[in-house]
Amino acid sequence: MPEPAAPIALSIVVPMFNEEAVLPLLVERLRTVADGLDTAYEVVAVDDGSSDATPVLLERYRRDWPELRIVRLRANSGHQAAISAGLARARGDYVVTLDADLQDPPEVIPEMLRVAREDAVDVVYGVRHDRSTDTAFKRGTARLFYWIIRRLGAIEAPQDAGDYRLMSRATVQAVNSLPEQNRVLRLVVPALGFPSAAVGYTREVRAAGHTKYPLAKMVRLAVDSVTGFSLAPLRFATWLGLLGGLAALGVLVYAVVARLLGQALPGWTSTVVIVAAVGAVQLLALGILGEYVGRMYAAMQARPTYFIAHDSLDTGR
């Protein structure tokens, strides 16, 4: 007879996509930290449809690490969806989400847990003190990202807080209950407004392997962030349209006056320029509209953003 399971104090959710190179290092460091907590925990490794040896390695590690739980998604669904899957499955009173590549040092977890308990806060953000190990490109795009989010007045997202954070059960339940798709957790969580604190850490270099965030995925995250929290781009399209209209009116008046004064207009260049400019503005506005219409469409379909293929908790494997 297996013992009745002790309540789990902490779940550590780790999304991973083709992380075979970093997995041995991760397991070693994470296990040392977690075992040192002296409390019942589980590590929820969310295998985001990896096509390398990640699933094989995970099963191997699980043989002598019973706290390791493997949740495998049917297809590569993206970082945010993988975290969402982990949050939906995690059982702990507190849940930490952590990248697999050791850029977020697991050694910070005990401090996050301590702060959550002692200060009685629901969310503890890991905030990057020092990002000098990130590439200049990554830092530049990150700064632009937070600048835009702040300028749009959407929400107070803690600067330089990525997806390394600890959440209470209540917070996780709130996140899980959101019907919203393509949710950007680093914005959704602060928007929920739970009492929070921050713990600083130094961002490390990726321990092994290479980034799973190509530019296309970064752009996707940025577009999801903006459209998920702000209607400003739609208003921007309106203003652009108004401005274009005014400019067109000016040209019209000029053309009529010139005609009345009997000055033949050469005309061709200006016509072509205006047609092109108006066309561009229209396409831009359409594209912006499309982003929102697309999100509405996806929300209506309410198709899950991930499917769980396997959870070692259910199957015992």
Nearer to ligand UDP, 71 or 237 (CB): 71
Nearer to ligand UDP, 17 or 41 (CB): 17
Query: Could you give the 3-state DSSP secondary structure of residue 64?
Result: coil
First vs last Cα of the chain: how many Å apart? 18
Nearer to ligand UDP, 99 or 122 (CB): 99
DSSP-assigned letter for residue 6: P
- Least distance CB 136 / ligand UDP (angstroms): 14
Nearer to Mg ion, 116 or 161 (CB): 161
Nearer to Mg ion, 101 or 122 (CB): 101
- 99 lines the binding site for ligand UDP (CB under 6 A): yes
- 224 lines the binding site for Mg ion (CB under 5 A): no
Size of interface with ligand UDP, in residues (CB under 6 A): 16
- 100 lines the binding site for ligand UDP (CB under 6 A): yes
Two structure tokens written together for 175: 């996140």
Strand partners, 113: none
- 79 lines the binding site for ligand UDP (CB under 6 A): yes
Instruction: Sketch the per residue contact string, 31 through 60, with ligand UDP: x for CB under 6 A, - otherwise.
Output: -----------------x------------
d(CA 246, CA 230): 26
CA nearest 104: which of 201, 218, 17?
A: 201
Nearer to ligand UDP, 39 or 76 (CB): 76
- 76 lines the binding site for ligand UDP (CB under 6 A): yes
- 18 lines the binding site for Mg ion (CB under 5 A): no
Q: At 278, which helix (H) or strand (E)?
A: helix 268-301
d(CA 244, CA 91): 55
Cβ atoms of residues 171 and 93 within 8 Å:
no
- 95 lines the binding site for ligand UDP (CB under 6 A): no
- 16 lines the binding site for ligand UDP (CB under 6 A): yes
DSSP of 163-199, one letter per residue? EEEEEEHHHHHHHHH---SS--HHHHHHHHT--EEEE
d(CA 92, CA 168): 9
Distance from chain centroid for Cα 166: 15
Q: Interface residues for Mg ion in 90-109 (CB under 5 A)?
A: 101, 103
- 163 lines the binding site for Mg ion (CB under 5 A): no
Please report, as ranges, the residues that interact with ligand UDP according to CB under 6 A.
Answer: 15-17, 19, 48, 76, 78-79, 82, 99-101, 103, 211-213
